[in-house]
């Protein structure tokens, strides 16, 4: 896991300098990098396309931007960090006094050395973000202001990667690709999703796993609009974000609150004895609020470490490469791996010999367990599975009621089904 964590951190480091937004070449360049790790199907949706109650906006691209003082020195420079420019800034080339310029400057007075992340997606505006200490040091005088950007008809870009399963029912894994140089929100989520996709492809999962890399809000809405007729295939889902910070894992339930994915994450986090939090659904946060909108009501939860806006570094330059760690990303990946291993094996069974306890010895079931170090545990698991296989309880119920490991319970169910005592 140490090695995998370092690989994911290296991927975050590669994507970090790129200027991403809800559209534009920064998103495409990010998808190019992800595409080196997993094959992607790319989608380009034209400006003006109606997507549910929204419209795909004009595409934004930027080449350069700066504020220069009277000597020509750049006191705010897009080349130093993509956070320095208000996202979706319209083009500008002007000279103005500091008093006028200040109307377009954004800072964080409470954190004077940090640069905030700000956007103006749907209102024509321009601006710069800078450290409060930089602003405080600016003398009165005239400044040159340049934003070399374009806002024109183009496309919204998103991509999908599908890991085929044994059944067409899908698990949706979604992450947003619209934030600029913010390592935790959401480059760590992109990295975890990508390495999770690679791992799932190696184990031939039961479900089909669909990974969606899309801009936040408008991207998820676009995906839903374009997949409205087939979205019923999505039986479970997870939105990944804030996957690399030092906080404990947090799971936010789906709108349903008791969906199978909710029960799986609760079980896995509790059984693993990791410090964790489980939060109830709220219609605010990441794209789970789109997937869980009442018209779709998909069983999609959200997995983070510290949730959105829950740490001081959120949406600031302090969310940098040092803020995320290989160990934290590896742990988030491990939670996903454990959760999907349970999800793939969780079933409801019907005991085909429910009147009294069936004779296990004559079916060779005890002999088949002779070489296991957990023989007694597995025998108990068989008895619990037989007793609770009434078509109403699933294997998570069995594991939680018996106190036995889920994998032991699932192995017992497999053995009993092979012996003709259970049917799914």
Annotated binding site: 179, 185, 315
Say if residues 369 and 383 touch (Cβ distance below 8 Å).
no
How much is the pLDDT for 45? 98
Query: Where exactly are the structural domains of the chain?
Result: 2-56+155-345, 59-152, 348-423
Distance, in Å, from the CA atom of 291 to the CA atom of 214, rounded to the nearest integer, reads: 13
Q: What is the pLDDT of residues 334-352, one digit of tens each?
A: 999 999 999 999 999 999 9
- What percent of the chain is predicted at pLDDT more than 70? 98
- What percent of the chain is predicted at pLDDT more than 90? 94
How much is the pLDDT for 363? 86
The mean pLDDT of the chain is 96
Range name among 39-48, 206-215, 288-297, 373-382 with the lowest pLDDT average: 373-382
Q: What is the pLDDT of residues 409-420, one digit of tens each?
A: 999 999 999 999
Mean pLDDT in residue range 149-174: 98
Residue 145 structure tokens: 């202001």
User: What is the CATH topology of the domain spanning 348-423?
Assistant: Arc Repressor Mutant, subunit A (1.10.10)
How much is the pLDDT for 325? 98
Residue 368 clears pLDDT 80, i.e. is over it: no
Which band of pLDDT confidence, cut at 50, 70 and 90, is reported for residue 371? low
Q: What is the pLDDT of residues 230-240, one digit of tens each?
A: 999 999 999 99
Which band of pLDDT confidence, cut at 50, 70 and 90, is reported for residue 111? very high
How much is the pLDDT for 370? 52
Q: Are strands 128-129 and 105-106 parallel, antiparallel or unpaired?
A: parallel
User: What is the CATH topology of the domain spanning 2-56+155-345?
Assistant: Aminopeptidase (3.40.630)
Annotated binding site for Zn(2+): 179, 185, 315
How much is the pLDDT for 373? 60
Residue 372 clears pLDDT 70, i.e. is over it: no
pTM of the model: 0.95
Which CATH code is given to the segment(s) 59-152?
A: 3.50.30.90
The candidate with the shortest Cα–Cα distance to 38, out of 217, 163, 128, 185, is 163
SS3 state at 255: coil
Distance, in Å, from the CA atom of 146 to the CA atom of 165, rounded to the nearest integer, reads: 51
Residue 69 clears pLDDT 80, i.e. is over it: yes
In order, the DSSP letters of 278-311 are EE---S-SSTHHHHTSTTT---EEEEESSPTT-S
The candidate with the shortest Cα–Cα distance to 347, out of 387, 305, 385, 314, is 385
How much is the pLDDT for 119? 97
How much is the pLDDT for 365? 85
């Amino acid at each position: 896991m140490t090695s995998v964590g370092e690989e994911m951190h290296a991927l975050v480091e590669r994507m970090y300098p790129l200027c991403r937004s809800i559209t534009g070449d920064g998103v495409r360049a990010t998808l190019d990098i992800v595409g080196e790790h997993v094959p992607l199907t790319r989608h380009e949706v034209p400006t003006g396309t109606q997507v549910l109650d929204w419209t795909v906006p004009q595409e934004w691209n930027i080449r350069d931007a700066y504020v220069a003082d009277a000597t020509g020195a750049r006191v705010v420079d897009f080349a130093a960090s993509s956070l320095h420019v208000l996202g979706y800034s319209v083009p500008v080339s002007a000279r103005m006094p500091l008093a006028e310029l200040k109307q377009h400057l954004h800072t964080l007075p409470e954190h004077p050395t940090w640069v905030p992340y700000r956007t103006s997606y749907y209102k024509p505006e321009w601006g710069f973000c800078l450290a409060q200490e930089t602003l405080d040091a600016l003398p009165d005088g005239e400044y040159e202001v340049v934003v070399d950007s374009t806002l024109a008809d183009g496309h919204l870009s998103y991509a999908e990667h599908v890991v085929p399963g044994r059944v067409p029912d899908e698990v949706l894994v979604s992450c947003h690709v619209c934030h600029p140089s913010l390592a935790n929100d959401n480059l760590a989520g992109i990295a975890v999703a990508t390495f999770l996709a690679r791992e799932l492809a190696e184990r031939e999962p039961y479900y089909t796993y669909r990974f969606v890399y899309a801009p936040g809000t408008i991207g998820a809405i676009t995906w839903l609009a374009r997949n409205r007729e087939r979205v019923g295939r999505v039986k479970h889902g997870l939105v990944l974000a804030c996957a690399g910070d030092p906080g404990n894992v947090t799971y936010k339930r789906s709108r349903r609150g008791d969906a199978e994915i909710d029960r799986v994450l609760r079980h896995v986090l509790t059984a693993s004895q990791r410090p964790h939090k489980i939060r109830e659904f709220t219609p605010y946060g990441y794209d789970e609020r789109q997937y869980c909108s009442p018209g779709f009501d998909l069983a999609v939860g959200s997995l983070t470490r510290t949730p959105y806006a829950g740490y001081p570094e959120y949406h600031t330059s302090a969310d940098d490469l040092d803020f995320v760690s290989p160990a934290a990303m590896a742990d988030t990946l491990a939670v996903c791996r454990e959760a999907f291993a349970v999800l793939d094996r969780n079933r409801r069974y019907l005991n085909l010999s429910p009147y009294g306890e069936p004779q296990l010895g004559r079916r060779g079931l005890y002999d088949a367990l002779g070489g296991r170090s957990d023989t007694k545990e597995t025998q108990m698991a068989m008895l619990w599975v037989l007793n609770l296989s009434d078509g109403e309880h699933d294997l998570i119920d069995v594991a939680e009621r018996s106190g036995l490991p889920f994998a032991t319970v699932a192995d017992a169910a497999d053995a009993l089904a092979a012996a003709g005592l259970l049917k799914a």
